[in-house]
Structure 1
């Protein structure tokens, strides 16, 4: 938490923005990226090996081929996941800055009078920084779920290529638990054990929910009421389409796609609601007003008395107490 002191001209002074950014936020971000890298590209966290039933139809779908041959390849999915929110936030912030400049007149002085942060730059860095953090967090959650559960993909048996004769599979109800049951490519087998939840569905839904909440809460469209709903439905439809393609190509089950939707949507909603406060601009802390001067407080016994207009009666005590207001009864209590 950085303490800001509002100075003259709407200028905010803070000594904690740069140290907090360098020694707290960057450290957390670096740790998140490093953990996502270890989950994705190393064998630091081994995948849980689950058994399977002989001739299980749920895992006997044909192999769909490499990921690059998919109708929604990872390159396309990750490009859209990165580009759509970035472009949306940049356009929204630039439009707000140039159409409503009076809403962004604050500057932040970090140290003395040398370092200024434009409010436009601060908002863009804040929103995109939180989005990047959530993107890697979603990757960690999805990879962690895949590693812990070890659920097989629909094409697992086509990749595993088990020797049913050597395993003694005489009945479809026989359960195989041997680690050496598979004779296929070890790398493809490991990938075929990472099905739950669907990482592509989680990242797509995270990006869609974050973008939709930004459009809904920040964009102000005049003259039409259909612009924002059309944009939001388009972005959500693209995210849902990614999961449908994964299921249609036998790369994930329906439960995997639904779990990915839930994971990505929950992380996006949490970050927008609890971390950046629904994209609202931070309010300036005004200097405290001087306390109001209250009249003498009456005794507790007189607090509950009804207000009754009574005629003013002159007395020597009233003449000595200063100017009077007509129509008000003075009790003489000080």
Structure 2
């Protein structure tokens, strides 16, 4: 056997004389201009000594017929001892190409942020627009009544929890608390390996959005989405059922189609459907609301907002200064919702079953949104991936979180 064949058998794997461009598709490319390559670019391993000539003689002994002109941009990569040449175009310099690439990346980041925000706003509008339609043009189901129904003969009283109080309790208080918690957590946060792996940095118009602002956007967005869903479910039930409020007779003052009233003996024990409301001291809004008793909107809204806020504190508030502070705040919020619901019965705005149904809708919606829509109680993987520290740690390693 000859020496040449023995060498071939002893060395089954050899470097190919020609490198296919597809084999280095994942290599990083270094963009340089040809005259810069001629003057200053040097590679101590396998780059050409004379890259400006026609015949390029490299340190590894290979010849390359490379014709480089001053007007041509050359891309050279050296990864795993492979020399790659890609001709891109004329008239580009390293500074101009880098600046152009940076602008494209920034525009792409800006578009992504705008698209995400626009999509979230559009989804909120899709849920909130039917609520507005119900409020402006909705017509409740025309339910009848019995003239001797004592549950509808309660007097009309003003609400203990006014609308502005409801909005303050259900919107201003939770949103303000979310802002405070996220700002405090961001200021006291300590960087860790898990944060480096999981957190993403968002940049918009050359401005790096702070982490607390991103968290507030997510938390408030999910909170608003759940509130809109809860209100829409409540309105659908209200207008579909059309249950009369306890102060129906005081507000409506019904007149039957034959001109009689409930004071006439002929209407005793009679189910009346064809009637009209005289309502001497009642506005059009009051006459419309008198048919929207089931379920209670105040109860569903306050229970959703307060239960969600309590769950948010359970997940995000981890201050160790006091063991009972978080639980005290949760108790206060639940009691606010409880008092609001009870006031709707004592003010004769709703029947007790209306309040029970509204409270159940709000509480269940808060639990579902907090668990399955938000990331408050997101399950963490049982394995944690660590960043490679050396070249030997290129493959991701897993470390179990079981304390072993």
TM normalised by structure 2 equals 0.61
In proportion to residue count, which structure has more strand?
Answer: 2
CA distance in 2, matches of 1:275, 1:286: 28
Structure-2 change in CA distance of 1:266 and 1:100 (3 Å) = same
SS in 1 for 2:349: coil
The match for 1:175 is 271
1:227 aligns with 2:318: no
Task: Specify which of 158, 176, 195 is matched with residue 250 of structure 2.
Answer: 158
2:252 is aligned with 1:125: no
Quote the offset at 1:162 in angstroms. 2.1
- After superposition, residues 27-106 of structure 1 pair within 5 angstroms as 27-40=122-135, 42-43=136-137, 45-64=138-157, 69-102=158-191, 106=199
Structure with greater Cα Rg: 2
**Shift of the alpha carbon at 1:227?**
1.3
Tell me by how many angstroms 1:201 deviates: 0.8
- Number of positions where the alignment pairs a residue of Structure 1 with one of Structure 2: 272
- Classify 1:95/1:228 alpha carbon distance in 2 versus 1 (closer, same or farther; 3 Å): same
SS at match of 2:201: strand
Q: How well do the aligned residues superpose, as a CA RMSD in angstroms?
A: 2.9
Per the normalisation by structure 1, the TM-score is 0.73
Q: Which one of 192, 198, 201 corresponds to residue 108 of structure 1? A: 201
Q: Are the counterparts in 1 of residues 230 and 304 from structure 2 also a CA contact under 8 Å?
A: yes
Q: Could you tell me which runs of 5 or more consecutive residues in structure 2 were left unpaired when the two chains were aligned.
A: 1-105, 389-393, 398-404
Aligned to 1:18: 113
TM-superposed deviation, 1:134: 1.8
Write the distance in 1 (CA, Å) between the matches of 2:227 and 2:240. Answer: 20
Shift of 1:54: 1.2
Stretch deviating more after TM superposition (121-130 or 270-279)? 270-279
Quote the Cα distance in structure 2 between the aligned partners of 1:183 and 1:223: 61
Taking a change above 3 Å as real, the CA distance of residues 274 and 285 of structure 1, as seen in their structure-2 partners, is: farther
Q: In 2, are the aligned partners of 1:93 and 1:120 still within 8 Å (CA)? A: yes
Q: Partner of 1:237 in structure 2?
A: 335
Measured in 2, the distance between the counterparts of 1:279 and 1:119 equals 19
Greater relative contact order (Cα < 8 A, sep 6+): 1
Pairs within 5 Å for 1:120-269: 120-163=212-255, 166=260, 169-170=265-266, 172-178=268-274, 180-184=275-279, 185=282, 186-269=284-367
The residue number in structure 2 matching 1:270 is 368
| Secondary structure in structure 1 of the residue aligned to 2:254 | coil
Determine helix, strand or coil for the equivalent of 1:195: coil
Q: Identify which range, 222-231 or 209-218, moves more after superposition.
A: 222-231
